[in-house]
């Protein structure tokens, strides 16, 4: 197989002067100035890319003081729990992918939330029918055992060099001193205003005085600062066995709802035993070869690694570097459609389901499915799955499984250090604002990750691998990805966005590896997302493009989505410098930083 050399394309990038402290000084009575926010940075000594400038600055501070990529990832994640509380935090979970420069190994941590031991397939069924999604979303019923604190402990135990207490201090300072509210934070609060108002502790924190936080004001979270200090002092076991655990269980089992609220808020059945039993899982990553590069991803319980890998395998037979933009998008859309058809049938928690990971990622199976793709016609969704254990040319059978709902406001961070270690880490509390329920006195929102389960099987006659079960992990689309070239990191990336994470990562990878876009431009490129549905989502730049009409002529149907994903990534240049890249516009733009800025790619 030929080895691809990434084409070097000039990038307009200004190396930013980094701020090592959290927030610059401001005149009395004014909000502290946040660190400079730029979507791309280039240089030596390590790199951090996230959606938030305060969080990226925390990661850079750790790298400057001798911490490694795992240390910086944990510290950055803790800071995102302060500044991105509607997307991440210790009330949620995530998936952590790590490259070890000393051994050359890629390893992963599954920190996905788990269902209570009492959960069964009918968790979201009442009187023989699934409850409305909104009633699962905003309830104790949708709350899974958080996995984020345990993920931090597992990552530091395996690869870290600094104690957790030290890594939590910057985020603790940020929570106590506050951060500057931006338009995105205000808009997300406004979108949840009615929900948040029904929970007194949530309203007190995020709607002080019943009002939305003003852009430019300082948002402080002293309860979270105290919780971080407690975790630093006692370790993350405090959340699973101590007072924090009891507070979580009390909140889930008896959600503190405002008197007079008309919302139906169901209690959950989480117990202290469920929290004590929680464990992260060290999983072997998924791995495929693409254009001579090794692509590593997250294995089930996430469907990210299998779906991205299967789609890349299907696309490898097409020279995407020479394809027209219309043919490239057509092939990308169809490969995504097929991968989602197979994901719905085959992927679930491997502790409960027989997931054919090796077969899904085989080139033989990819070829048997790719032959369905034609340049002059469009597949019809919902497409039926194939059988990876018995591949048949252009074969499909069984019953199509629709894509379940997944919350879109996750967050992703990517880190590299001066030794060459790399982390791609995606963490989440599911919906924007998770369950909407804040643990009283603790300063963090609880997840609603269990709504990632199927509420009921699409077809009772066909097995659904994503139904709830006792201690089961719901299927995820989280896709943190690391690409190696001859055993050394080439690039790493990931994105939030629910089920659109898979298509965002796939499109960004092919944009960089095949289309030759600089990483920051591959991230910024207008996106499409097909998830085995009747129509494909398009961002406005594609919706308003002549490409839309060109693709509609061969049968594509589209619907508009204002914004898909919010990716970040890092790339190692041949001269040893790192490129950190984030969004230019989505979610208000991301924040890319390096330790020692130096030139442009």
- If 0-12 CB within 10 Å is exposed, 13-18 middle and 19+ buried, where does residue 34 land? buried
CB 193 within 8 A of CB 108: no
- If 0-12 CB within 10 Å is exposed, 13-18 middle and 19+ buried, where does residue 534 land? exposed
Write out 342-403 in H/E/C secondary structure: HHHHHCCCCCCCCCCHHHHCCHHHHHHHHCCCCCCCCCCCCCCCCCCCCCCCCCCCCCCCCC
Would 233 be classed as within a structural domain? yes
Would 393 be classed as within a structural domain? no
Would 176 be classed as within a structural domain? yes
CB 16 within 8 A of CB 38: yes
pLDDT at 18: 36
Would 193 be classed as within a structural domain? yes
The domain containing residue 436 runs over which residues?
40-282+405-565+584-597
- Say what the pTM is: 0.93
Token representation of residue 219: 């948002």
pLDDT at 29: 44
Would 332 be classed as within a structural domain? no
pLDDT at 10: 35
Would 85 be classed as within a structural domain? yes
> Which residue stretches of the chain have pLDDT < 70?
1-34, 395-409, 601
Would 362 be classed as within a structural domain? no
pLDDT at 167: 98
pLDDT at 394: 84
Provide the domain count of the chain.
1
pLDDT in tens, 196-239: 999 999 999 999 999 999 999 999 999 999 999 999 999 999 99
pLDDT at 270: 97
Would 237 be classed as within a structural domain? yes
Active-site amino acid positions: 410
Q: Give the CATH number of the domain where residue 468 resides.
A: 3.60.20.40
């Amino acid at each position: 197989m030929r080895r691809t050399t990434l084409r070097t394309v000039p990038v307009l990038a200004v190396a930013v002067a980094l701020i090592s402290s959290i927030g610059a000084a401001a005149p009395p009575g004014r909000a502290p100035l946040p660190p400079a926010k730029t979507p791309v940075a280039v240089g030596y000594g390590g790199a951090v890319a996230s959606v938030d400038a305060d969080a990226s600055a925390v990661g850079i501070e750790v790298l400057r003081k001798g911490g490694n990529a795992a240390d910086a990832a944990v510290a950055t994640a803790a800071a995102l729990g302060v500044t991105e509380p509607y997307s991440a935090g210790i009330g949620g979970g995530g998936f952590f992918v790590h490259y070890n420069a000393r051994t050359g190994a890629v390893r992963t941590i599954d920190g996905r939330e788990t269902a209570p031991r009492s959960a069964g397939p009918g968790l979201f069924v009442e009187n023989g029918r699934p409850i409305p999604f909104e009633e699962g979303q905003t309830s104790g019923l949708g709350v899974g055992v958080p996995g984020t604190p345990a993920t931090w402990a597992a990552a530091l135990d395996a690869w870290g060099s600094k104690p957790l207490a030290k890594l939590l201090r910057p985020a603790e300072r940020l929570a106590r001193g506050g951060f500057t509210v931006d338009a995105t934070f205000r808009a997300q609060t406004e979108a949840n205003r009615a929900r948040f108002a029904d929970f007194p502790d949530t309203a007190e924190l995020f709607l002080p005085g019943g009002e939305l936080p003003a852009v430019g004001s300082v948002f402080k979270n002293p309860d979270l600062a105290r919780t971080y200090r407690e975790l630093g002092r006692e370790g993350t076991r405090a959340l699973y066995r101590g007072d924090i655990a009891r507070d979580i269980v009390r909140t889930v089992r008896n959600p503190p709802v405002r008197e007079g609220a008309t919302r139906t808020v169901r209690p959950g059945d989480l117990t202290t035993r469920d929290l004590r039993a929680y464990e992260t899982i060290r999983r072997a990553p998924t791995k495929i070869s693409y254009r001579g590069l090794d692509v590593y991803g997250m294995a089930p319980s996430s469907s990210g690694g299998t779906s991205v890998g299967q789609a890349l395998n299907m696309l490898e037979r097409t020279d995407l570097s020479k394809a027209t933009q219309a043919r490239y998008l057509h092939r990308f859309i169809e490969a995504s459609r097929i991968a989602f058809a197979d994901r719905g049938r085959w992927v679930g928690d491997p502790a409960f389901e027989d997931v054919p990971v090796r077969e899904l990622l085989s080139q033989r199976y990819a070829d048997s499915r790719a032959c369905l793709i034609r340049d002059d016609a469009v597949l019809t969704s919902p497409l039926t799955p194939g059988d990876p254990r018995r591949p048949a040319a252009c074969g499909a059978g069984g019953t199509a499984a629709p894509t379940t709902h997944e919350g879109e406001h996750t967050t992703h961070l990517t880190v590299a250090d001066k030794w060459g270690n790399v982390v791609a880490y995606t963490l989440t509390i599911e919906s924007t604002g998770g369950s909407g329920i804040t643990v009283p006195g603790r300063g963090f929102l609880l997840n609603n990750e269990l709504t990632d389960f199927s509420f009921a099987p699409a077809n009772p006659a066909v097995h659904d691998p994503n139904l709830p079960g006792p201690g089961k992990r719901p299927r995820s689309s989280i896709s943190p990805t690391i690409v190696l070239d001859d055993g050394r990191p080439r690039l790493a990336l990931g994105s939030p966005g629910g089920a659109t994470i898979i298509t965002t990562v796939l499109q960004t990878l092919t944009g960089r590896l095949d289309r030759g876009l600089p990483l920051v431009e591959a991230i910024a490129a207008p996106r499409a997302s097909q998830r085995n549905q009747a129509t494909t989502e398009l961002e406005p730049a594609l919706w308003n493009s002549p490409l839309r009409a060109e693709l509609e002529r061969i049968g594509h149907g589209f619907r508009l989505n204002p914004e898909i994903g919010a990716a970040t990534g890092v790339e190692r240049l041949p001269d040893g410098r790192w490129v950190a890249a984030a969004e230019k516009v989505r979610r208000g733009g991301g924040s890319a930083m390096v330790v020692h800025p130096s030139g442009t790619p």
